[in-house]
């Protein structure tokens, strides 16, 4: 019973930090769109500060979401490994999470390029780039909730 409550609390924090992480994954590329379209130095400098701060929050959300996800994985592997290993849904989820982490690193590198005034991406390209986390979010949540395979 106590274990069950502990698992639920870990799951709750996993979801809380996934939400925090996605706030940054959704909004950082939006800031990049404004940044690519801004020409006034004051606006560009203000956007750099916003991007730097939001990147820090995104790192924290991502690291903690992954840590709580690993804690959940550890719990299931210790108590009922078949839950995660029987179907393919969990492996598929992990593969998509690897892509999500790749997207996060890509955002980080773009943030550093904008900080050096060295990013030449058009705002149109950035708008397309902004769609990637939405697609990954839909696929991952469908996989963990529906467990289709």
- The residue count of the chain comes to 149
SS3 content of the chain, % helix, strand, coil (to 5): 85, 0, 15
Say if CB 89 and CB 143 are below 8 A apart.
Answer: yes
Minimum CB distance to ligand HEM, residue 119 (Å): 26
Closer by beta carbon to ligand HEM, 88 or else 124: 88
CA 75 to CA 93: how far, in whole Å?
Answer: 17
Select from 40-48, 62-70, 112-120, 123-131 the region that touches ligand HEM (CB under 6 A): 62-70
Residue 132, judged by CB atoms within 10 A of its CB (0-12, 13-18, 19+), counts as middle
Which one of residues 49, 85, 105, 141 is an interface residue with ligand HEM (CB under 6 A)?
Answer: 141
- Identify the residue among 9, 49, 135, 144 touching ligand HEM (CB under 6 A): 144
Considering the complex, state which of residue 1 and residue 145 has its C-beta at the smaller distance from ligand HEM: 145
Residue 65 touches ligand HEM, criterion: CB under 6 A: yes
Structure tokens at 65: 């979401």
Which is nearest to 24 in space by CA: 67, 59, 69? 59
Q: Any idea what DSSP says for residue 39?
A: -
Instruction: Write the binding mask 28 to 47 for ligand HEM: x where contact by CB under 6 A, - elsewhere.
Output: --------------------
Binding pattern to ligand HEM, positions 78-117, x when CB under 6 A? -------------------x--x-----------------
């Amino acid at each position: 019973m106590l274990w069950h409550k502990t698992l639920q609390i870990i799951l709750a924090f996993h979801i809380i930090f996934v939400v925090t992480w996605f706030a940054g994954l959704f909004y950082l590329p939006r800031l990049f769109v404004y940044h690519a379209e801004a020409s006034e130095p004051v606006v560009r400098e203000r956007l750099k500060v916003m991007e730097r701060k939001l990147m820090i929050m995104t790192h924290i959300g991502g690291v903690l979401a992954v840590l709580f996800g690993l804690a959940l994985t550890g719990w299931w592997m210790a108590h009922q490994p078949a839950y995660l290993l029987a179907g393919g849904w969990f492996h598929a989820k992990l593969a998509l999470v690897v892509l999500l982490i790749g997207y996060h690193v890509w955002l980080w590198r773009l943030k550093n390029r904008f900080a050096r005034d060295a990013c030449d991406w058009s705002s149109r390209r950035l708008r397309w780039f902004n769609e990637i986390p939405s697609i990954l979010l839909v696929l991952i949540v469908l996989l963990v909730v529906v467990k289709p395979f």
